[in-house]
Structure 1
Amino acid sequence: MKPALQIRLNQSLALTPQLQQAIRLLQLSRLELELELNTALESNPLLDMTEELVDGEDAEADAAADAEAAESPADAADTGDTDEQPLDLEFERTEYRGTALDEDGMEPQDAEVEDLRDHLLWQLNLTPMSARDRAIAATIIEAIDDDGYLGESDEVIRDTLASLHTVSLEEIASVRHRVQHFDPVGVASRNLRECLGVQLDAFSADTPGLALARTLVADHLEALAKQDRVRICQRLHADEASFDTALALIRSLVPKPGNCFSNATAEYVAPDAYARKVGGRWQVTLAPGCQPRLGINEHYASLIAKARRDDANYLKGQLQEARWLIKSLKTRAETMLKVASSIVRAQEAFLEFGAEAMRPLVLKDVADEIGMHESTISRVTTRKFLHTPRGTFEFKYFFSSGVTTVDGGAASATAIQAMIKKLIGEEQPTRPLSDQVLAAELNRRGINVARRTVAKYREALNIPSSNDRSRLG
């Protein structure tokens, strides 16, 4: 079966408005998706909620939740066999531990909510770049506002970097172009025209209306805002059908790409998937709410043939939108499962043995395996949560860059942090281990890590230095 959703920055796939809708739905959390669907049900008479179950999804997810809530992390390697027939699904998450599900399948959330800059820096850390370009990108990201726009000039960014690197304006422009194609696409733009133009660049060259949409964005945004379609069509020698196609494409874009991260405060998280071991294999099921059961209201659909022209046109439009939404929801669920299964295959050792067994994993690894673009993987890993016998984790938790080992392999940053935490936890309070000693011990275990890297990981764990630990002890 071909992947349901593939976003490519080269020109290989037409990102239609319908596919744009599917992409937008991907980045929604489970709770946000429920709100979106409630709004759609209220506004579109052709949509209806059905009672049909998807392969026993509800019963299986409930059973998984009950079984896993009763298990402790120590039981992760041996959960036992059952008679259930789990779906062969997939998912992934970032660390979020230690809470039980309430009666609605929700979990209290006390972790700090990730903002736009955190999301961009996370992608930067997983993107191959020189130290020089990485410093430029980090400076650009820190200057991005909550709407996703960059207000600082290239000259100001150059001056900010002066103490670290002497960089040219051309280098800054090149790196900014790369950041603009992070998720969400269009961030780090300096104005609306540029932001929309970057998003249009992600479309295939044969996308209907693309050429006219680019012209409208580049030269006629003000006229569009005034809805002066007649004059625009005359000026561009475009017919109304072509104009409407281009306008629909523009309306599918996101004018403020940072908005989905603004003021994102949530008190609860709802697991999107459940992982459990069945018959010696790790299996995953989607949570019930991740495949909403929407259908077409046949009563209103049957009225189309009998209605007057205006009413019939209205109902036809609503029917088309309903079908698009249902298809987009199916695409969302299929994509989440593809990404999740890839992550589970990569991180099975973590589920068996814990954080010290975490493998290095970057967005490109998953993207290449399932044939999707990295920005799609980034969307799926944002604010999606996996419930496992070891706790509940955001998908992002399973991604980290790697450090080489003496045998030519690699250890993930997450695994190294877990080792550092364990070593410090076992140290004598009167003789805390310095970063140099910790680095030497990791080197002895075959992990090529420098003292400064150990210090960075220790600080990320909010563990004081050996001097401070000695005083605290």
Structure 2
Amino acid sequence: MALSANLFLRQSQSLVMTPQLMQSIQLLQMTHFELNQFIAQEVEKNPLLEFASNDEDLGGYGEREAKDERFEMAGETAGEPAGDTRNDGFEGGGDDLASDWYESDNTGHADRLSNELDTNFGNVFSDDASPQRADAPELLSQWKSMPGGEAGESYDLDDFVAGQVSLRDHLNEQIPFSLPAMGDRLIAQHLVDQLDDTGYLRADLSETAERLGSTIGEVERVLNTLQLLDPPGVFARSLSECLAIQLRQKDRFDPAMERLIENLELLARRDFATLKRLCGVDEEDLLDMMAEIRQLNPKPGSGFETGISEAIMPDIVVRPSADGSWLVELNPDALPRVLVSQSYFASVSKTSQDHAFLSECLQNANWLTRSLDQRAKTIMKVASEIVRQQDAFLINGVDHLRPLNLKTVADAIKMHESTVSRVTSNKYMLTPRGLFELKYFFTVSINAVEGGDGHSAEAVRHKIRLLISNESPNAVLSDDDIVDTLKKGGIELARRTVAKYREAMNIPSSVQRRREKRALAKVGSF
């Protein structure tokens, strides 16, 4: 068979991952804080984008464009350039108004007299005058001294907020009063630099002494002094030492408490019989010692700020409506306030020579507004479907949380699973039951007995937690008992799964719970 070259005409469709499409996908999974940062960068680069003021109606971009068109018509009617949309001119002014005001015979004389006599009555009777309009309202937060900013009368609460003090700063303020010698302060500063976020010392004293050219005895002496600083328990090298430091400062570190601290692994296993024999106390004294340990802080450095904490702002607000259904709304505080100034583009393009740059800016601005609008609609679709699927949870609580996966929601709103996954990442919904991440409503399904409806894994964990919290000291439930109880309730679950859920919720085993509850029952504290 001979080979030959031929020409074919074929029509096909393909999805091209353009840079704008990639940015649209990234916008979908951005948090509120990340989205505001991205929009601020775009507004800084694009002269056609601007932030909307808080008192401006954000019902749609068309209303803003219509407003700009009204300003443009007013400017043209008044004899001003069409692009000057910042002057509060006379809306809808006609020819009579233009001739009476702008083209009167005394206009030139009034301007000349004003310039020569410097007649400015702006500072006369300032208390009775109306508030002066700011030249650039969008910059009031940055330039409070501009006209209209009311400098000296308004206060910014951020100016009165105390700065966050880190653990190292807090300790460095105390070291000069405890260690007057400069050599000791050098050792102390080296030890402070090796503290972790919880306040524990993660350093080898021998290596520290060798590095600083000192003896290990001097390093230990400085360390003993540092362990007396605030917060109590700081500079500890283990949990036992941290608790011992705090008990010494409370003058409660007696021989019995010392032996209890040395055997924390027995306390974790609830081996009260061995602890009573080692400490030489009865059950009542042992329980009192355990109550004192519970009041201690195992992480003394956790109370200090270690980083910037981001406040969670709900993207969706769900509240009951009058007809008994649920009203799902986008949080207006989480919506980005950005607008496109079409009139500014029209006015600048008449005088500017760089039409390609302006056209690109207009294209990018329109793309951003469309992407933000599409993002809001997609979040609304996903949230509405989640509320429809989890209606029983909103009414009755976590016991009625239904199993749900991404495919179910994606099929219902006719979108891809990856889109639903991006929407539910780092997005939060405020409901009458509390604030939840959208991914909270997606849980695996637990098989039901005899082919019944499946149960949500989160609802099953909640049932296990309730069963254990309601058990009595004489009838502590084992994992097998929990399996049987759940089976009677229509939930088919293996014993190893119950053990896995229990350990994930930090619930001890039945043997440990039985020891603790019986000991508490004997002293009448249960």
Please, which of 481, 492, 497 is the counterpart of residue 448 of structure 1? 492
CA RMSD of aligned residues (A): 2.4
Correspondences of 1:38-437 after superposition (within 5 Å): 38-50=40-52, 51-54=56-59, 266-278=309-321, 279-309=323-353, 311-408=354-451, 409-437=453-481
Counterpart CA distance in 2 for 1:307 and 1:436 is 82
Provide TM-score, normalisation by structure 1.
Answer: 0.51
Counterpart CA distance in 2 for 1:22 and 1:354 is 36
Please, which of 439, 458, 463 is the counterpart of residue 502 of structure 2? 458
Please, which of 4, 17, 20 is the counterpart of residue 18 of structure 1? 20
Counterpart CA distance in 2 for 1:269 and 1:385 is 8
Counterpart CA distance in 2 for 1:364 and 1:264 is 37
The offset of 1:460, in angstroms, is 2.3
Unaligned runs of 5+ in 1: 1-10, 56-102, 105-262
Verify the 8 A CA contact 1:30 1:289 in the aligned structure 2.
Answer: no
Say which SS state the counterpart of residue 350 (structure 2) adopts: coil
Counterpart CA distance in 1 for 2:472 and 2:370 is 59
Verify the 8 A CA contact 1:52 1:293 in the aligned structure 2.
Answer: no
Report 1 or 2 for greater relative contact order, CA contacts < 8 Å, sequence distance ≥ 6.
Answer: 1
Say which SS state the counterpart of residue 306 (structure 1) adopts: helix
Question: CA 1:12/1:348 → structure 2, altered by over 3 Å: closer, same or farther?
Answer: farther
Counterpart CA distance in 2 for 1:270 and 1:339 is 18
Give the counterpart letter for 2:439 in structure 1: K
Specify the alignment match of 1:182 in structure 2: none
Q: Sequence identity of aligned pairs in percent?
A: 47
Give the counterpart letter for 1:448 in structure 2: E
Cα distance per residue 1:26-57 (max 9 Å; x no partner) = 111112212222222222111023322339xx
Counterpart CA distance in 1 for 2:515 and 2:360 is 70
Cα distance per residue 1:302-321 (max 9 Å; x no partner) = 14532444x22111111111
Say which SS state the counterpart of residue 349 (structure 2) adopts: coil
Question: CA 1:265/1:440 → structure 2, altered by over 3 Å: closer, same or farther?
Answer: farther
Verify the 8 A CA contact 2:349 2:358 in the aligned structure 1.
Answer: no
Task: Say which is worse superposed, 284-293 or 415-424, in terms of deviation.
Answer: 284-293
Counterpart CA distance in 1 for 2:402 and 2:503 is 21
Unaligned runs of 5+ in 2: 1-12, 61-156, 159-305, 518-526
Counterpart CA distance in 1 for 2:483 and 2:51 is 57
Aligned residue pairs total 257
Structure with higher Rg: it is: 2
The offset of 1:384, in angstroms, is 0.8
Verify the 8 A CA contact 1:276 1:389 in the aligned structure 2.
Answer: yes
Counterpart CA distance in 2 for 1:13 and 1:352 is 43
Say which SS state the counterpart of residue 268 (structure 1) adopts: coil
Question: CA 1:367/1:463 → structure 2, altered by over 3 Å: closer, same or farther?
Answer: same
Counterpart CA distance in 2 for 1:53 and 1:46 is 17
Give the counterpart letter for 2:506 in structure 1: N
Cα distance per residue 1:168-227 (max 9 Å; x no partner) = xxxxxxxxxxxxxxxxxxxxxxxxxxxxxxxxxxxxxxxxxxxxxxxxxxxxxxxxxxxx
Specify the alignment match of 1:91 in structure 2: none
Verify the 8 A CA contact 2:313 2:334 in the aligned structure 1.
Answer: no
Give the counterpart letter for 1:345 in structure 2: R
Question: CA 1:395/1:264 → structure 2, altered by over 3 Å: closer, same or farther?
Answer: farther
Tell whether 2:34 aligns with 1:32. Answer: yes
Say which SS state the counterpart of residue 387 (structure 1) adopts: strand
Give the counterpart letter for 1:322 in structure 2: A
Verify the 8 A CA contact 2:428 2:435 in the aligned structure 1.
Answer: yes
Counterpart CA distance in 1 for 2:371 and 2:19 is 11
Verify the 8 A CA contact 1:405 1:446 in the aligned structure 2.
Answer: yes
Counterpart CA distance in 1 for 2:408 and 2:362 is 39
Say which SS state the counterpart of residue 283 (structure 1) adopts: strand
Give the counterpart letter for 1:297 in structure 2: S
Cα distance per residue 1:292-336 (max 9 Å; x no partner) = 232212343114532444x22111111111111111101110010
The offset of 1:267, in angstroms, is 3.5
Provide TM-score, normalisation by structure 2.
Answer: 0.46
Give the counterpart letter for 2:57 in structure 1: E
